[in-house]
Amino acid sequence: MTQPAKTTHPQVWRGKLIAVCDYAASYTSGDAIWNEGYPVWWHLTNVRLLSEPIPCRGRVGMWRLNNNLMERINDK
């Protein structure tokens, strides 16, 4: 079995921001079979993969980017 390219291996992008998106809504679970058992799922829009990962200490769940990170993203 071949190893994945270094740029796609999780260890390469751990601790880095690799994409940003807009939060549109959240939905509670219902009869839909595609919710994979989670009680709530998010509807994300405008998902954008960054051209280069940006070092960033994240948090669990959803959080807003600080102004410094926003400037770095807009410069890319």
CB atoms inside a 10 Å sphere around CB 70: 12
Full 3-state SS string of the chain: CCCCCHHHCHHHHCCEEEEEEEEEEEEECCCCHHHCCCCEEEEEEEEEEEEEEEECCCCCCCCCCCHHHHHHHHHC
pLDDT at 3 (0 to 100): 47
pLDDT at 1 (0 to 100): 44
pLDDT tens digits, one per residue of 13-49: 688 888 888 999 988 766 666 656 667 778 899 999 9
pLDDT at 2 (0 to 100): 47
Which range is least confidently modeled, 5-14, 41-50, 51-60?
5-14
pTM of the complete model = 0.61
